[in-house]
Amino acid sequence: MTELLRIERLGQRGDGVAQGPGGPIHVPLALPGELVEADLSGERSRLVRVVESAPERVAPYCPEVGACGGCATQQLAQPTALAWKRALLVETFRRAGLDAEARIAPCLDAHGAGRRRVTFHARAGADGRIAVGFAEARSHAIVPVAACPLLAPELAGALPAARALAAALSSRRKPLDIVASATAAGLDVDIRGGGPPPEPLRLRLVELAGRLDLARLSIHGDVVVERRRPVLAIGRAQVTPPPGGFLQATAKGEEELARLVLEGVDGAKRVADLFCGIGPFALRLAERAEVFAADSEAAAVEALSAAARMAPGLKRISAEPRDLFRRPLTSAELARFDAVVFDPPRAGAELQARTLAGAKVARVVAVSCSAATLARDAAILVAGGYRLDLVTPVDQFRHSAHVEAVAVFSRG
């Protein structure tokens, strides 16, 4: 069954939203103001054709748009997409009780050269063939892809490598996630799924890593072979991340986030970097301040510490593994810092925000990939007497609904 619909707005996931008799109707790939014909016969509506197009519509440049679930807004002009992401942040803060629109800056485009980290999914179909690619939108089905135009040039070999590794492990018939990161030494690949390989298969993977010229190959963080030390430059430091460890999606995104963090704590002499990871902020902060860094991932903290020991001209960095979700820094511990930076996972830093709300730290900078938990934590800080000075959205997830943000708070 097809219907003509007038699209009123973009939803939070990037779908066009029309108002139907029974409530909102979400139409993927449709834009506000457009008159579209949509098929409503399935569980989800499907765009059949655009009858009247919006002036912001542009031609998608990837042939997998509409099938692959990675991009929701490739049909939307980038300036409008950035404004939409800012509006999502404004609305999320409003729902948390904070009227912050005047303090939310324009969204920064931090795509840069493209994504430097990618996860390919490998699954066996009913015919036994292995499909390697990305998931369909709201589905576990795999869309095999020939390439992804969002990836940085340094990841050019990632898809062929993923196909070869999936083929080598196909006899185990286990779903795989193959995570490839671009480093100065080449591809760093971690395979997730299937468990530890038996020794004959492990030896085959070592040989395959050589043929694929991988810098490092690991399975669930267990190194199969390291042919070259994978290195990332962070400020003056050279960091070897733990196998499968987290890093920001784009190099440009990390640079912009770090710049905003450094501006937010400018002049501070003693800074705490909480949920520090491998040190994208701590190692840059240490060029001008003493830094205490903490994270629950011990391997990330060790990578940060090792890099700090070798980097020239840094002030003192003390780093420790610590579960900040269960054991946040106390008010007494926070009292020795001029500024605190926290960059938690999507769950946010609620307990740490509550201890900060009762402390007297002059400045706090919150970095988050979740608008909802950032707004919640911001409301806690504001209720504790902090002033929300500035929120800057940063877009390193082009064509998706995801947006990073840096929020700066001050006391008094």
Q: Active-site residues: which are they?
A: 369
- Is residue 197 a contact partner of residue 174, using CB atoms and an 8 Å limit? no
**Dihedrals phi, psi of 36, to nearest 5 degrees:** -130, 155
- Is residue 383 a contact partner of residue 358, using CB atoms and an 8 Å limit? no
- As a whole number of angstroms, the distance between CA 187 and CA 154 comes to 8
Place of tokens 């589905």: 139
Q: In what order do the strands lie in the sheet with 222-226?
A: 142-144, 130-135, 117-124, 176-183, 186-192, 216-219, 222-226
DSSP string of 223-280?
EEEESS---EEETTEEE-PPTT----S-HHHHHHHHHHHHHHTTT-SEEEEES-TT-T
Burial zone of 41 (CB within 10 Å; 0-12 exposed, 13-18 middle, 19+ buried): exposed
Reduce the DSSP state of residue 92 to 3 states and report it.
helix
Taking the CB of residue 153, how many other CB atoms lie within 10 A of it?
A: 9
Reduce the DSSP state of residue 34 to 3 states and report it.
coil
Q: In what order do the strands lie in the sheet with 317-321?
A: 108-109, 386-395, 404-411, 363-368, 339-342, 270-274, 290-295, 317-321
- As a whole number of angstroms, the distance between CA 261 and CA 341 comes to 8
